[in-house]
Structure 1
Amino acid sequence: MIEARRLHILRAVSDHRTLTAAAAALYLTPSAVSQQLTALEQETGHRLVERSGRGVRLTPAGDILLRHTNAVLAQLERAEAELTAYSSGAAGTVTVASFATGIGLVVAPALARLALTAPGIRVRVQDAEGDASLPMVLDRQVDIAVAVEYRGAPGVDDARLTHVPLYAEPFDAVVPVAHRLAGAEQVPLAELAKDPWIGPYPGNPCHDVVVLACEAAGFQPGLEHQSDDFRAVVALASAGAGVALVPRSALLGMDLGGVVVRPVDGAAPTRRVFAAVRCGAEEHPLIRPMLDALAGAAPVEGGAP
């Protein structure tokens, strides 16, 4: 008989590629992970993991078991949801991980909605960048991720997750008030090819949006200054340090006295925001109300500063 907890470990090893990283995500020791994998191999009669460079990878037998693991764990999530609904209904704690702008734009308003519609549900919120929150869901550190589409992110067809679209918002061009294009109604990105740029670090989903938009305009942005804090990005632009692309909602409430904000000419770069839960957990009586509250709080489109 295969133990479900060992299937969680197998999936974590597949996701994180090293025993040490998988152990950290699951709050276990590497030796405990190794022991559980050995026990799983004994249960199945197959070698499931092999070394690959400095990490590990699944064997063909491990890949077969992983496909079944995703289905089994999703069904266990559904069973837990039904049992919770049967025994106690909507009373308990839900954890949500979201990037900072998402917290302000949808998570906080969703909490206000939930306080009226499901007062028995307590929500705990953690600040996490869009590329960090999805692994937190898969590793069962949180229940819901509010995340941004990015290169390499699990897609809507990923068997491990259920996606709930929330909103899409454009990026606007931010240039110093003395910039040559400050008087333009719209800013052609190609005209900024030789400017110094300010933007997020690689790994931040917004970095991908900026770079891909500039590549589509025919150039690589010269990122001379980097920060994941858009207030810092705008402050640097105000000081004349460069130009930037910033999500429209991130500009709300900022001091924009030293910059000019303009729409991008043509197809605007866009970030798409969604909520994600482990597959099978979407109908959990604690999670479903929060997903509904997030969807209800989401703007039809990104707000303008």
Structure 2
Amino acid sequence: MIEARRLHILRAVADHRTVTAAAAALYLTPSAVSQQLSALEQETGHRLVERHARGVRLTPAGEILLQHANTVLAQLERAEAELAAYGSGSAGTVTLAAFATGIDLVVAPALVRLARTAPGIRVRVQDAEGDASLPMILDRQVDVAVAVEYRGAPGDPRLTRVPLYAEPFDAVVPAGHHLAATGRVRLSALAEEPWIGPYPGNPCHDVVVLACERDGFSPGLEHHSDDFRAVVALASAGAGVALVPRSALRGMDLAGVVVRPVDGAAPTRRVFAAVRSGAEEHPLIQPVLEALGDTAPHVESAE
């Protein structure tokens, strides 16, 4: 009989690609992860992982088992949801990870709504940049994630996603820039400029790079920060130009920059809530998703 706990460990190793990283995500020691993998191999009668220069990877047998593991673990989430519903599930704690702007625009208003509609549910919020919250979901560190994707990003069948809102990126240029007087800015006009943007790995970095590539150039990213306040501060100092999500500009000191909409098809940040597949009907999680969804349209209309 295969233990579900070991399937979860197998999935973490596949996601993180090293035993050490998987152990850290699961709050286990590397030796404990290795022991559980060895026990799983004994249960199945197959070698499931193999080492290589950069860590470990699944064998073909491991890949087959991983596909079934995703199905089994999703079904267990549904079972927990139904059992919680049977026991009413009207009170408890839900952990939620979101990026800073998402907390401001969607999560905080959702907490206000939940205080009225589901006062027995306590939500514990953690700040997590970009799509960093999605591995936290799969590693069971949090229950709900508010994350960012870009057009063309592959979906993950292990997650159930609820779209929340979409917003354009605006061009931010120094106040004395020669394009500051224009009504809209074409990205190709900024091709020779130094650029300021998020670090690689942040979905907003991908949005910026893909938008520029669609206009026929690669942005010369000379300065990096995942904090859009720092990005705007650098632009105001004349260090370069940037693309910034419109909502992230709210409440900032924009005295040293000019913000202009992008001419043509504007790059867009799409924000969604995610839970482990099968958990969306959990009586504690479902009200949180509903509150996020009910709050999100106000973001779009406000823009």
CA deviations on 1:222-248 (whole Å, 9 max, x unpaired) are 112211111111111112221110000
CA deviations on 1:179-232 (whole Å, 9 max, x unpaired) are 111111100111111111111111111111111111111111111221111111
Alpha-carbon contact 2:106-2:292 (below 8 Å) kept: yes
CA distance in 1, matches of 2:302, 2:245: 10
Amino acid in the other structure paired with 1:34? S
Q: CA deviation at 1:154?
A: 5.2
The answer to whether residue 64 in structure 2 is matched with residue 64 in structure 1 is yes
Picking from 195, 200, 203, the partner of 1:202 is: 200
Picking from 280, 287, 293, the partner of 1:289 is: 287
- What is the correspondence of 1:210-229 to structure 2 with a 5 Å cutoff? 210-229=208-227
- What is the correspondence of 1:142-157 to structure 2 with a 5 Å cutoff? 142-150=142-150, 155=155
Amino acid in the other structure paired with 2:107? V
Alpha-carbon contact 1:248-1:303 (below 8 Å) kept: no
Which segment drifts farther, 114-123 or 214-223?
214-223
CA deviations on 1:127-159 (whole Å, 9 max, x unpaired) are 00122100000000000111111599651xx22
Cα 1:151–1:27 change in 2 (3 A) is farther
Equivalent position of 1:104 in the other structure = 104
- What is the correspondence of 1:47-62 to structure 2 with a 5 Å cutoff? 47-62=47-62
- What is the correspondence of 1:107-126 to structure 2 with a 5 Å cutoff? 107-126=107-126
CA distance in 1, matches of 2:35, 2:232: 50
Q: CA deviation at 1:63?
A: 1.0
Give RMSD over aligned pairs. Answer: 1.4
CA distance in 2, matches of 1:61, 1:195: 50
Alpha-carbon contact 1:23-1:29 (below 8 Å) kept: yes
- What is the correspondence of 1:1-305 to structure 2 with a 5 Å cutoff? 1-150=1-150, 155=155, 158-299=156-297, 301=300, 303-304=302-303
Moved over 2 A (4+): 150-154, 299-304
CA deviations on 1:90-126 (whole Å, 9 max, x unpaired) are 2100011011111111011111111111000000000
CA deviations on 1:50-75 (whole Å, 9 max, x unpaired) are 11223111111111111110111011
Alpha-carbon contact 1:188-1:265 (below 8 Å) kept: yes
Local SS of the residue matching 2:207: helix
Specify every segment of 5 or more residues in structure 1 that has no aligned partner in the other structure, as ranges. Answer: none
CA distance in 1, matches of 2:84, 2:248: 38
Cα 1:221–1:202 change in 2 (3 A) is same
Cα 1:245–1:302 change in 2 (3 A) is farther
CA deviations on 1:37-58 (whole Å, 9 max, x unpaired) are 1111111111111112231111
CA distance in 1, matches of 2:11, 2:151: 21
Give the % identical residues: 84
Which segment drifts farther, 84-93 or 72-81?
84-93
Local SS of the residue matching 1:178: coil
CA distance in 1, matches of 2:75, 2:85: 15
Alpha-carbon contact 1:248-1:302 (below 8 Å) kept: no
CA distance in 2, matches of 1:277, 1:220: 34
Alpha-carbon contact 2:88-2:283 (below 8 Å) kept: no
CA distance in 1, matches of 2:151, 2:195: 21
Local SS of the residue matching 1:273: strand
Amino acid in the other structure paired with 1:74? A
Alpha-carbon contact 1:249-1:303 (below 8 Å) kept: no
CA deviations on 1:275-298 (whole Å, 9 max, x unpaired) are 110010000000000000011111
Local SS of the residue matching 2:300: coil
Specify every segment of 5 or more residues in structure 2 that has no aligned partner in the other structure, as ranges. Answer: none
TM-score computed with the length of structure 2 as normaliser:
0.97
CA distance in 1, matches of 2:199, 2:21: 22
Local SS of the residue matching 1:267: coil
Cα 1:154–1:141 change in 2 (3 A) is farther
CA distance in 1, matches of 2:55, 2:8: 18
